[in-house]
Amino acid sequence: MSKLSVGYSPQFKRDVKQLFKKYRQIQRDVNAFIEQLKQGETPGDQIPGAGYPVYKVRLKSSDLSKGKRGGYRLIYYLKTAERIILITIYAKSEQADISPDEIRRIIEDLSS
């Protein structure tokens, strides 16, 4: 089995840094999700209209007692069978859904 690598967009890094101020357990929550990806799982729902194989997954926040529904939304991109890029993450309580256009812009910024 090939080794899966997980990368981070600059947007994702900024988002985690910002969320960390309020949600101190975010790195543990994200790391648990990355382990799921490394097991070969592709959880979440594919986002239509993004033009790329992009998925949105609900993540539980260890800092909140609301379960997945009130936790984070993490968007990731299946770049290749061996490479996944974490695009963005946001707290559901602080942001509405992200548009396919915004996702496409973040992905296109990666390759420039």
Contacts of 109 (CB under 8 A, 6+ apart): 9, 10, 11
The yes-or-no verdict on residue 111 having pLDDT over 80 is: no
List of E strands, 1-112: 5-8, 45-46, 54-59, 72-78, 83-91
The yes-or-no verdict on residue 1 having pLDDT over 60 is: no
Q: Go through the domains of the chain in sequence order and give each one's CATH number.
A: 5-110 (3.30.2310.20)
Q: What is the pLDDT of residue 92?
A: 85
Q: What is the pLDDT of residue 70?
A: 74
Q: Which of the four pLDDT bands, split at 50, 70 and 90, describes residue 4?
A: confident
The model's pTM is 0.89
Q: How far apart are CA 61 and CA 73, in angstroms?
A: 10
The yes-or-no verdict on residue 67 having pLDDT over 70 is: no
Strand pairing class (83-91; 5-8): parallel
